[in-house]
Structures are given as structure tokens and as C-alpha cells.
Structure 1
């Protein structure tokens, strides 16, 4: 373990020193406490690089999801468990990346970007909101933060052991014993019929997830298709697993993601992607603080002039949304969001594979058509059918087979069409149908809750919307199953055709009527299925029966608002009843079916069109999610209206917020509540500076009695960060008389002698000193304290933005007095 090579001052062990070739935004660095990862914004490449603090190795790079667009990262933030890295971009996009490999997990946007006119009739960015044109699309989130709230009360649901979860039978006795094995103190209460035990049993039954016994969804191979940013996460199996990963049971912890945009709104998300609602702010929020044991969130907003800061306390009604109801709604809402994106991408892949698979055969047949037209002969389909029936070669057909097709083009033709059918069949059987089954389960689960709580405020969601959603899922499933049968039938026809075509090429190459040709015909003809080959040439080769299922309907293009979308004549006809009637019409030998009203459709196959049904499904899911969000928004609005007004803080216009933290009130006094603490830097006199310390009570909004100053003589404050309720680290640049003696020092400041009626005093202790003469290669400018108990570090960034040092804080002691070589042997030095 190396030490700094400075000439004086206390030393912290140097764990690692990193140098990079391109500058990073040091003031926006984020540290992952659990896995010791450092996320920094690269100012040259405009992406986020994540390094390991222990050895400086590059773990992964988080890039903007759309490689064809350009955007710059604005802020980064780690989730407490290190599973996700949040990055906000200047175009208003918030992306959540996997903390393991940097794969895109989710993409969200602030509420100001939502635009009601973006109800798409096609699958082009069907889920992506449209940016507000009045602001040139710039609604960049200025604050992105997580909090892991620990709900109080209630008996936690014990996790099932593996043999219990996947066993043949799970009895109530087994479940009861599992609780006993984990919480023996609660056994007596449960045995006596306590409400805690009954609630745990209700939670266990309510949160039973039948999808755990289903095989997991697989990745979607793009096959060269340009993927949308939201769908890129489905290209890898790890991305699919992360997208559909849900909590296994009810937990005392509730994950809350707060996104503050530049539109004076704070959006609240549960489980990272489930939007609960938004809360209005007077100005755009810039900083956020929270604590696992505080339901109150603190958001600091500051106008452009910087004269007055407003501190907002947001009380989330987590107890109201808590319990099994929160788990079921959040889990199934998140599942529906991911599934509808997965289904949309699957249908896009089907369209892409169908189009690209037909390019080569279409080009070959178009060239054959031109040759036949020049010689006033029939079309290629008639010519090939005549060849099948009569085995007589015309000069044009013989020339086309021997000079154009030959064995090379035939193999390419076979590969193209075989891949077309294989890919579409895999997409339907392995991706689309399993996803629709899960969609049905999620919709039916929410419908059950909606019907149970109908007419109450417990879950204010119309059950009819979920019934329509299930109807739409069934219609899409029926159309997909019919398309799969068509794929199987046409693939059999094509295999027979391509086998016959190979025989005809061999015969044409040997010369029709020759001995070799006759032997080839006698040997290969019995292996040719004439019926399947003729059906393929007469029908499928002209126009595949899949075309009506996959084509983009001319009427289904563009976007509408919500009211006009559902009034669209084609959209109105896309339901299960018309889908069943269309299938009956196709299966019937008659040309008309009495139960089918063709006047409701622009064409008879619209109710079987996969893209149209998917667009209808996307809109229906969005409508249901909007209704759920509106119900949760009312709870938030009711809580916000009963809360206290924002606290105004008058500051020096040049003051800069260095850090803000939230702590339970019990950390400083005996009561229940929460407090927000802030550190502001403000210039002092000519040769000194100071830090303003604020402590604001969320219940009373009292501020002045908890305000104090930390003064530094002959020093300039570079950065400060709180590490506990009464301790902060401060990086200062000491103003020396000689340039050769210039230095920066890392100080530990502790608030002491604090009482109910006195501010207390701040003691300062030197922890590390950096020699920074003019020729020094490393000049500290910013730092980040991170880690966990037993392994704490401080990452100090250089002023050039190309280097940083990781110092060990594991054994630091805030009570150690400042020492400055022989000059200060044991006295505490005051700045």
C-alpha cells in the first residue's frame, strides 16, 4: 500500500492512482458504494465511463441508446444496491443501465415531454413521447436520484426455500413453518390469530406469481434491422432478463426513483419504471436528498439568479400504496410496460425478416419477367407451372435456369426463403405468443383487483379497460397463431418447389432430352411433390398468404390524439369479435360469412393484421397505465396539498451548493421526523472563505436556529461533502506566501457542543495534505466520499480532469488533531 510523497501533513494510504487520456467532468462523478465503481462523464466522447476503484480498470461504458443521434450526458447517479446506473441526457432522455455490464435496461422521460398527439397508428416509435417543440426538445432532467425507503410495520414475508418453491406441493403448514424458522418471536402472535399473521398469509396468496413456472423469454435477434433505442435492450439475453426481472415477494423496502426535469416537475417512479405521478415545483429541481428511514424527499430548486433557494419536502404516501397492493400493481404495471415493448419489437422483426427475405427472389423473378415480356411470352408463374405440368423447356426458361439461376442462385434463393420462414416461425412461437400469454396474466391480475375494489379509492381503475386489453391480446394471439400455421404450410410448399427447381436446373444443364437428363428425371421425379410445388407456383410465389398479416396498412400510419385514435375506423374494428369472424370467413368455403360485417373494415383482413393489432395493443396498454398513474397521482396530489410550503433560503448569489443530505430527526434529537442538511460555499474576505451550514426540519421548516458557519482563514474552499449528521469533509486550497509551499488539504470538520439553544462550534482536523507547487502534476479540485462500513474511500480528482487518486478512509478518526510536521506537534490548528 503506497503513501503520498508529500513533505508534510497527515497521510491517508493511497490505494490507486488513475490517469486517463481524455478529460472527465469531475464535479458530476458518482461512486457506487457497494461495488466500488466510479462513474464519470467523458467530455470528449460524450458517454459515461465506469471504472473500478480498486485498480482503475474500465468496467463498461454507457452510451446514448440511439447510435444515429447525438446527445450529451448531464448527470449520473447510482442505485443504492448498485444494480442500476442512471444517466440523464440533454435531450430529455433518462436511461437506466445495468450496473453489471452497462446494458440498457430502461428508458424514461420527464412528464413535460409527454405529448397527447403521439398515439401512433404504426409501430414507428409507438411508445416514445414527442418532445415539446416550444423548447426545441430540450427538457433535460437536472436531477436523477434513488431512495430505498424502509417501510415500518407489518410482518415481512419470508422467502420460500428452493425446494419449497419448486416442489410438488406447497402446503399452508410448510409456509407457516418457514415463517417460524425465520421469525420465532412472531409465532405466538400468528398462532393466536394476530392481524400480522393474517396479513402475511393474505400477502402470500395475493402476490403469488404464476409466471415463475413459465420459461423465460428469449432475446430477439435483429438480423441486421436497425433497432429502436427502447428495443435495443432485447437484443441480448441479459438485457431481456433485466427487463423482466421483478421482486419475488412483498418487501419492507420500496425503491423510489425521482426525476426532476427543467419543467418544474418531479416525476416519481416505483421499481425504476412504474410511474406513480408527478409533483409540481416552483422552479426546476436541481438537487435531491433522501434517507432509507425517511418517507420525506427533499428537493432543492434554485432560480437562475441564484438569490433565493426553495427547499421542497415531498412526503410520499408509501404506507397508503404499501403492502401487497403496491407489489401487485407495481409488478404487473412494470411487466406490461416491458411486454408491450417486447411485443412491438417482435412484430417489427417479423416485418423486417419478411421484407428482406423476399428481396432476392423478387429480384430474380423481376428479371425473368422482363425477359419473357421482351419475347412476348407469358409471365414467369405460368411458365414455371407449364414446365411442372409438361416437363417441356422453352428456350427462355432453359436460358434463365442455366445462365441466371444455376446452382449458386438457387442456393441463395433457398437460404433466403428458408431463413424467412424459420425466423418468422421462431418469432411467433418463441417470442410473440409467450409474451402475449404473460400479458394476459398481468391484465387479468389487475382486472381482478379492479373488480374487487370497484367503487372505492383503494384501486380506482375501470375494470372495463382491462377487459378490452385482454380482448386485444386475444385478437393478436389468434392472428399470430393463424400466421404460424400459414408459415408451416408455405414452408412445406417451398421445400418441395426448391427440390423440383434443383432437378430442373440439372436437367436444363444436361440438355433436355439427353440421356443424362432422362436419367436425372427418372431418379429425382419420384421425390418431387407435384401438388405442393404447384400450389407454391400458382399461389404462394405470386403473393404469400402471410402478406395481409404482416403488411403495413395504408390507413394505419402517423399519429393522432387519444380521442381520435380510438375513433379511427380501422382501430375501432380491431377487436376479438372481428378477428374471429375474419378467421371464420377464411376457413369457410363460401365467400361471405353472415356473422362478419365487412362494412366495419377497410378490407377483410384488417382484423388479422399483426402491426395494426399491435398498435392497438400499445394504445390500450398506454391508456390503462395512464389511468393507474392518474389514480396514484391523486394520492400524491392529496399528500402534496396537505404538506408544508417550501422553505425559502436567502443566499449570496455567488454561493454554490456543495452537498445536501437527509437524516432522521432522531439522529440529533428525540422525535420522529426528518431533517435536511446543506453545505453552501460562499466567498469570505480577501484571504478567507467560509461554508454555510443549514439544517432544516421537514415538519416545522425551521432553519435559522440550525444555521452556522465554518470559516477558513487564508484558504479557499474547493469542495465539501457530508459523511454523517455532524461531520463533513472539506477540500481547501491553502494560500501560502511562497508558490513552492502551495498545498491543498483535506479536512474533517465536526459539529461539537451543539445544544437545543446553541449552534455549536466546528472543529477541524487535517486528514491529508497535497503538495501543489506550480510544477506539480496533480492539483486536487474535487472529491467524492464513498464505500461502506469497513471499506471507505475518498476519490480526489485533479484539476485537469484527467487523473484521480483513491485514498483509504477505513481507519480515519475525526477526532485526530491537525498536525503540520514539526511546526504543529499536537496543537489543533484553527483556520
Structure 2
């Protein structure tokens, strides 16, 4: 018996389908029936929560990443319009044989759990020098300045609004992660399966109907993988007559072996490139928004006096202001506007809007845009180096010509960023002089002072800068040429940025050299927004080329029919086993009872994987009889045992059952081959030798691990297990769906468990 490590009472009932234990930290994620997601520590403290957004949204799946790292929002709506019904994370070695040999040398110093969690490894598995790999891992990006956080402007933009978030997004590729790639598998109700690496690096979408002609209406149910295997496995539900049938469908990812050691480097750099592209887009949007805001209020002020001057004085505000600075003579209409409409309050608003806008544009260009473009160029150069290594290019899908085009566009953007920095600084200095003169003029006209008095006050006014501002930036800012404002949004792009021949950078450089405020060619320069759209197209072509190459290396294997009927509880686990002096991958599938049956079936599928292609060598099955018990849930603990949660009228239990035939008990679980033509029959005709009968008290007592005594209305509804070394726990959700308990799988005490019937503290009382 085991005493609970933790127990909690939540305020909202938990959806039993959505309970997950973090693989690397003691955190429990769950979703309530009102579609709210909560994450708790073992002491009951709430770490964070995600509230229900639009009414149409609901929680479909909850799955922790294998290393427990943070993953930001991923939009899956482009992959399929159907709901998500299966979510799987898998980590795969790109060279499993090499890692296996080196782990065997290190014995227990480094384990697979250490590699999955990406824990710091004091003893690296890469002991032998590897010059090509070491050169590929030269972390030039670490020498660059860190990107500065941006102000939050929406849900998507929040990922760039904090230092911690940016550091997570732009983590360097360490030596411990070069030999592996984490793969996200998203399954939809319509049978679509989408694959991506490192959260963003998309491989593409596939439909399970490709696996078999009989898969008309199919949906993925479970996903399973192993670090050493290039083949993943999916449990798929398909219509079989008037019932649903369960099939195992192998998913061969030959890209893991084809791209090899360069896959992790390619995926990592492509993911960072995508993140930097999003960052640059957000900087560009903020710069455009801040510049537009700095122009709106002054434009409204000037529009008022402009209309009055045209009607009464037959001149413009620019002419009147220039005349006032040079001669000191103020038109009556200008005086009225300065005193009655603009005044001190209006001047402060004008000054704040313009100064804030110029300073923001200058800061964004200097602190955000230029560093991001520099990092962008380094990442593209890294990919370009891979593309020029022709031996790997065929398996990576990179194009040196396309990457050269991206570098050309980046040079263009860097040139424009420097021009924006120069123009914003110059116009800011001119505006400060203009603002000082305008403030002084408001005071003079408001006090009806004589013309002689302001001559003494004009000593502190920079008339040259004031006149330059009035003639130029006051109505025609140099920055306008770089941003797409409403007046230019409908104009047709003057250049075909995607035209072949010539360097876009050289054309831009010549255009900027020849452009001036009076030269109409200035308006023919591409805007920052147009260049960003062009860069988007170029990068998408690169991403699509990589994805298409990798997508050709993905195939579905031949489906294996297991049984008719889909149980309410099931689990999968893939192992690497030794047989006859060779290694083979074995998939274990445990399925709860179907309909009114009282048997739990465990299937054992032996997979042979050669050159990334898998075939199923054999299918075996073992049976656990559960007559008298209602099976609530079943889960694998590790490579040796599984847990079966059952309940009866008077008591409930958790059984721990070894499923690989190594039990010390007199009754063991054995497997027998099944006839694939008739799943219900066995080839040897012997049913009993491969089953464990829990309806027998002597057998049940052997495998009983936890008992919930009679008289206590606390029965398990769902279990969630973390079987990793050093973190082996089981979380049990009660049937009332308001309580859950966490037990240590390795520590237990003799004797009957004492269950505390007192009310557990509510979630609010347990939060700090």
C-alpha cells in the first residue's frame, strides 16, 4: 500500500479525458468541464491557467512535450477544419545506433530519460571529436546582441513581449540536441495527420486513407514512438460493418535517416528563421503604427489652419509659417489659430505625439530592426552553407539561389533601416527646434507683445532647423517613403520585386542615392511593407522546398487489424528488445474491455525496420480477465509493468501487472500468436496459458498494489502515470471528478491504507 504524496479538491469537475502529468516536473495539467485548463503543483498551488476564449472553442487534447519545455500557440486551423482527436510528441535520434553504442559505454551515467529531458550532461555522449559536426555547431548567434522585447500588441505578439519568452524562442542548438529531433503529431477527426519538427518546422499533412483503401472514415486515436526508431505508430479507428475496428498503422519517417545529423540543424535554424521573421514583421508593424500616430494629430491641427488660410489669405500653412519665422509678421488668421485653437494645451499634445513617434521609430530601428536583420542574415548564411554541401542538399531540400535572394532582400532592409534611423534622428532634431519656436510664438501672440520684444527671445531658437522642418518634414516627412500609409496603400507597387535579373539591393541603393524630397523618384522606392511581403514570399518558398523534400520521405505502413470495438481506455508503448542476437522494435497495445466483455487485451507487435521502412513480423496477444471488476482505466508504467484501475460495488483497486513475462509470481502473463484472418482465434488454440484471471482472489491479491477500502466512496475514474526514473508517480482522478491523488510508485508501506475522510482543502485555500 502507498500513502498519497498529494491530494487536491478542485472547484470545477475535471474532464477525465484531459489529465496529464508533466514528464520532467511535478506539474499536473487538467481541463475542467467548463473548458478551462489549469496547471497545479503537487502542493495544490496553481501555476497558471488558460481561460475559455470564444464560446465555440473547447479543449480537445492535452499533451505535455517530452522535455516539459514551453510551447507557444500553434495555429492548426490551416491543416484541417475538423477537431483535433489525437496529439502526440515524439523525440527521435537521427543516428540511433551511434547514440546507443555510446550510451552502452557510459552505462548508467547518462540515461534515455536524461536525453529526453535535455538535462545538462556532465558526461557527453559525443566524446569522440567530430570536425564536421563541431564546425556546424559553431554558435555564431550567441555572439550577437539579444533581441529586445517588444510592446504587446495582441495575442500573437505576446511571445515577443518578455525577456524569458525571447530566450526560450531563440535557444542555441547545443551539442546534446544535435543528434535528435522532436516531432509533433496532430491527428484530426477527418483522418488528417500533420507532422512538424521543433514546433514550427512543418513537414506537412497526410491522410490516413493513404494507408489502406478500406480506410474511408477513419480517425487517429493514439500515437506512440521510440527514441531509436524511425517509425512511429498510430492506433486508428475505422468503421467495420456496424462497429468500429482498431488498427495499428506504422508511420515511417525516413527523413530521420535520410537527412541524418543535419536534420536537427536544419529544423532548428529554420524554426529560428521563422521566429526572427515574425519578430521583424512585428517591428515593422510597430514602426508604421507609431509613425502614423505621430502624424495624425499634427495633420489635424494643420488641416484646420490650412483651410482657413486658403479661404482668407490665399496661402498655405507652410508659407505662412515660413513668413512668420523670417519676418516676424503674423497673419491674423494664424494668430487666431495659435491663440484660440492650438494654445499651450494643443502644443503639448503636438509635441508629445511627434516626439514620441520619432523616438519610437528611431529606437525600434536601432534596438530591434537592425539586430534582428543581422541575426536573420546569419541564420540564412548558415542554411546557405548547408545548401552548398551538395552531398546533403538532395536530402535537405535547400536552394542556394533562393537563399542568395533572401540575403539580397535582407541587405535591402538593412539599408532602409539605416536610412530610417538617419531620417528619424534628423527630423526629431528639426522638430525640437520647430516646437521651441512654436511655443515661443504662441506666448508672443497671446500676450500681444510688440515686434521688438521677441527679438530678444529669439536668441534660443534654431531658425535654420526650424525653417528646414517647415519646408520639409512638417508636411512631407522623409519617413513616409518607407511606410505604407493610407494614402499609398492603394498605389500599385512601382517595382516588380520578384523580377529576375539584377540585384534588388543595388536597385534600392541607386534609388536612395538619387532620391530627394523634390525628386518624384523618391516615391518609387519600395516601402518597408513591400519588402517584407517580398521577403515573406522568398522565405515561404524556402520553407516549402524543405517541407516538400521531407514530405516525400514519409509513408504509411501496412495496417494491422487488432479487434472490433473501441474501448473507453487504452494505451500504447514502443520498446527496443533483443532477440536472437539482434535488436527489434516491439509495440505493446493494451485495450480495455469492449461492450459487456470483461477482458483486457494486450497486443504485442514485432516491427522490422530497414532503411526507414517498417514491416510487421508477428502479432501476439495476452489476456487479463476482469470478471467481477469494472475496468476504469489502464496505463503502462514503464518497460516492464502496467497499472489497471478497477472498481466494484464495495471497493476499488489498482493492479500492477508485469506484461513482459518477468514476474516472480506463480501466475505470469504470456503472449500467444493470433490469426490475422480471424482476430478472435489463436493459432495454437490455447486460451488459458496466456491469460491472468483477476476474478480469482489468489491471483488478484498477487497483483494488488493499492486498495480503496470498503465504506469509502473514493474510486478511480482515470489514471495518469509518469514512469521516468526518479519521477515515478501515478495520479488518480476520483469518480466524482473533483478529487485527485498522487502516489509514489516506488515507495509503499505495509498494512492497510488509512484513507482520510476529512474534506480536502479547496483549490483557493491551497494556492499561495
Q: TM-score range by the shorter chain?
A: 0.7 to 0.9
Cα distance in 1, alignment partners of residues 709 and 26 from structure 2: 27
Alpha carbons of 1:336 and 1:59: their partners in 2 closer, same or farther (altered >3 Å)? same
CA drift at 1:290: 1.6
CA drift at 1:785: 1.7
The corresponding residue for 1:242 is 168
Alpha carbons of 1:444 and 1:279: their partners in 2 closer, same or farther (altered >3 Å)? same
Aligned partner of residue 14 in structure 2, secondary structure: coil
Please tell me whether residue 575 in structure 1 is matched to residue 488 in structure 2.
Answer: no
Alpha carbons of 1:724 and 1:797: their partners in 2 closer, same or farther (altered >3 Å)? same
The corresponding residue for 1:83 is 69
Alpha carbons of 1:754 and 1:801: their partners in 2 closer, same or farther (altered >3 Å)? closer
Alpha carbons of 1:743 and 1:568: their partners in 2 closer, same or farther (altered >3 Å)? farther
The corresponding residue for 1:546 is 479
Please tell me whether residue 22 in structure 1 is matched to residue 12 in structure 2.
Answer: yes
Cα distance in 1, alignment partners of residues 11 and 495 from structure 2: 56
Please tell me whether residue 622 in structure 1 is matched to residue 540 in structure 2.
Answer: yes
In structure 1, which of residues 131, 134, 140 is the aligned counterpart of residue 83 of structure 2? 140
Aligned partner of residue 173 in structure 2, secondary structure: coil
The corresponding residue for 1:302 is 237
Alpha carbons of 1:772 and 1:537: their partners in 2 closer, same or farther (altered >3 Å)? farther
**Are 1:798 and 1:804, in contact at CA under 8 Å, matched by a contact in 2?**
yes
Cα distance in 1, alignment partners of residues 323 and 468 from structure 2: 13
CA drift at 1:429: 1.3
The corresponding residue for 2:107 is none
In structure 2, which of residues 616, 621, 625 is the aligned counterpart of residue 707 of structure 1? 621
Cα distance in 2, alignment partners of residues 68 and 552 from structure 1: 32
CA drift at 1:235: 1.8
**Are 2:251 and 2:554, in contact at CA under 8 Å, matched by a contact in 1?**
no
The corresponding residue for 1:329 is 266
Cα distance in 2, alignment partners of residues 240 and 718 from structure 1: 43
Cα distance in 2, alignment partners of residues 157 and 430 from structure 1: 47
Alpha carbons of 1:684 and 1:347: their partners in 2 closer, same or farther (altered >3 Å)? closer
Alpha carbons of 1:221 and 1:321: their partners in 2 closer, same or farther (altered >3 Å)? farther
The corresponding residue for 1:608 is 526
Q: Which is further off, 621-630 or 535-544? A: 535-544
Alpha carbons of 1:779 and 1:805: their partners in 2 closer, same or farther (altered >3 Å)? same
In structure 2, which of residues 718, 721, 730 is the aligned counterpart of residue 794 of structure 1? 730
In structure 1, which of residues 370, 380, 383 is the aligned counterpart of residue 320 of structure 2? 383
Aligned partner of residue 378 in structure 1, secondary structure: coil
Cα distance in 1, alignment partners of residues 552 and 150 from structure 2: 38
The corresponding residue for 1:177 is none
In structure 2, which of residues 194, 206, 221 is the aligned counterpart of residue 267 of structure 1? 194
Alpha carbons of 1:812 and 1:695: their partners in 2 closer, same or farther (altered >3 Å)? farther
Cα distance in 2, alignment partners of residues 72 and 566 from structure 1: 43
**Are 1:555 and 1:570, in contact at CA under 8 Å, matched by a contact in 2?**
no
Aligned partner of residue 707 in structure 1, secondary structure: strand
Alpha-carbon RMSD across the aligned residues, in angstroms, is 3.6
Please tell me whether residue 32 in structure 1 is matched to residue 15 in structure 2.
Answer: no
CA drift at 1:800: 3.7
Structure-2-length-normalised TM-score: 0.81
**Are 1:22 and 1:802, in contact at CA under 8 Å, matched by a contact in 2?**
yes
**Are 1:662 and 1:675, in contact at CA under 8 Å, matched by a contact in 2?**
yes
**Are 1:552 and 1:611, in contact at CA under 8 Å, matched by a contact in 2?**
no
Please tell me whether residue 664 in structure 1 is matched to residue 565 in structure 2.
Answer: no
The corresponding residue for 2:257 is 320
The corresponding residue for 2:227 is 292
Alpha carbons of 1:68 and 1:540: their partners in 2 closer, same or farther (altered >3 Å)? farther
Aligned partner of residue 552 in structure 2, secondary structure: helix
Aligned partner of residue 587 in structure 2, secondary structure: strand
Aligned partner of residue 286 in structure 2, secondary structure: helix
Alpha carbons of 1:654 and 1:83: their partners in 2 closer, same or farther (altered >3 Å)? closer
Aligned partner of residue 404 in structure 1, secondary structure: helix
In structure 2, which of residues 408, 413, 427 is the aligned counterpart of residue 471 of structure 1? 408
Structure having greater relative contact order (Cα 8 Å, sep ≥ 6): 2
The unaligned stretches of length 5 or more in structure 2 are 103-121, 210-217, 609-614, 662-667, 673-688, 694-698, 756-768
The corresponding residue for 1:496 is 433
Please tell me whether residue 255 in structure 1 is matched to residue 182 in structure 2.
Answer: yes
CA drift at 1:182: 5.7
**Are 1:301 and 1:309, in contact at CA under 8 Å, matched by a contact in 2?**
yes
Aligned partner of residue 713 in structure 1, secondary structure: coil
The corresponding residue for 1:120 is none
The corresponding residue for 2:287 is 350
The corresponding residue for 2:654 is 746
The corresponding residue for 1:535 is 468
CA drift at 1:795: 1.5
Please tell me whether residue 149 in structure 1 is matched to residue 92 in structure 2.
Answer: yes
The corresponding residue for 1:176 is none
Cα distance in 2, alignment partners of residues 335 and 365 from structure 1: 45
CA drift at 1:451: 2.4
The corresponding residue for 1:655 is 567
**Once the two structures are superposed, what CA deviation does each residue of 1:421-458 show, in whole Å capped at 9, x if it has no partner?**
11111111111111111221222222222223079624
5 Å matches for 1:190-201?
197=129, 200-201=130-131
CA drift at 1:496: 0.6
**Once the two structures are superposed, what CA deviation does each residue of 1:780-823 show, in whole Å capped at 9, x if it has no partner?**
3112122643443222213343332223323259xx999999xx
**Are 1:310 and 1:647, in contact at CA under 8 Å, matched by a contact in 2?**
yes
**Are 2:180 and 2:264, in contact at CA under 8 Å, matched by a contact in 1?**
no
The corresponding residue for 1:694 is 603
Aligned partner of residue 478 in structure 2, secondary structure: coil
The corresponding residue for 1:73 is 59
Please tell me whether residue 57 in structure 1 is matched to residue 1 in structure 2.
Answer: no
**Are 1:234 and 1:342, in contact at CA under 8 Å, matched by a contact in 2?**
yes
5 Å matches for 1:139-178?
139-150=82-93, 151-154=95-98
Alpha carbons of 1:708 and 1:154: their partners in 2 closer, same or farther (altered >3 Å)? closer
Cα distance in 2, alignment partners of residues 587 and 185 from structure 1: 58
Cα distance in 2, alignment partners of residues 782 and 156 from structure 1: 35
**Are 1:308 and 1:648, in contact at CA under 8 Å, matched by a contact in 2?**
yes
Alpha carbons of 1:239 and 1:606: their partners in 2 closer, same or farther (altered >3 Å)? farther
Structure-1-length-normalised TM-score: 0.75
**Are 1:694 and 1:703, in contact at CA under 8 Å, matched by a contact in 2?**
no
**Once the two structures are superposed, what CA deviation does each residue of 1:132-163 show, in whole Å capped at 9, x if it has no partner?**
xxxxxx233322222222443448999xxxxx
Cα distance in 2, alignment partners of residues 557 and 717 from structure 1: 66
Cα distance in 2, alignment partners of residues 315 and 363 from structure 1: 63
The corresponding residue for 1:218 is 148
Alpha carbons of 1:149 and 1:654: their partners in 2 closer, same or farther (altered >3 Å)? closer
**Once the two structures are superposed, what CA deviation does each residue of 1:246-303 show, in whole Å capped at 9, x if it has no partner?**
3223633332222223453433322232223455423332210122233321111113
The unaligned stretches of length 5 or more in structure 1 are 1-10, 85-95, 97-104, 114-137, 159-180, 187-195, 559-564, 593-602, 736-741, 822-831
CA drift at 1:217: 0.7
**Are 2:437 and 2:461, in contact at CA under 8 Å, matched by a contact in 1?**
yes
Cα distance in 2, alignment partners of residues 482 and 256 from structure 1: 42
**Are 2:3 and 2:748, in contact at CA under 8 Å, matched by a contact in 1?**
no
Cα distance in 1, alignment partners of residues 55 and 623 from structure 2: 47
Cα distance in 2, alignment partners of residues 580 and 270 from structure 1: 38
CA drift at 1:569: 4.3
CA drift at 1:532: 1.2
Aligned partner of residue 208 in structure 1, secondary structure: coil
Cα distance in 1, alignment partners of residues 337 and 284 from structure 2: 36
**Are 2:3 and 2:753, in contact at CA under 8 Å, matched by a contact in 1?**
no
Alpha carbons of 1:316 and 1:817: their partners in 2 closer, same or farther (altered >3 Å)? farther
Cα distance in 2, alignment partners of residues 405 and 819 from structure 1: 81
**Are 1:582 and 1:605, in contact at CA under 8 Å, matched by a contact in 2?**
no
Alpha carbons of 1:755 and 1:787: their partners in 2 closer, same or farther (altered >3 Å)? closer
CA drift at 1:367: 3.0
Aligned partner of residue 347 in structure 2, secondary structure: helix
Aligned partner of residue 413 in structure 2, secondary structure: helix
The corresponding residue for 1:646 is 559
**Once the two structures are superposed, what CA deviation does each residue of 1:49-97 show, in whole Å capped at 9, x if it has no partner?**
1111x21111112468xx789622211111122113xxxxxxxxxxx3x
Please tell me whether residue 416 in structure 1 is matched to residue 322 in structure 2.
Answer: no
Cα distance in 1, alignment partners of residues 227 and 126 from structure 2: 25
Please tell me whether residue 339 in structure 1 is matched to residue 276 in structure 2.
Answer: yes
Aligned partner of residue 542 in structure 1, secondary structure: coil
Alpha carbons of 1:622 and 1:318: their partners in 2 closer, same or farther (altered >3 Å)? closer
Count of residue pairs brought into register by the alignment = 686
Aligned partner of residue 16 in structure 1, secondary structure: strand
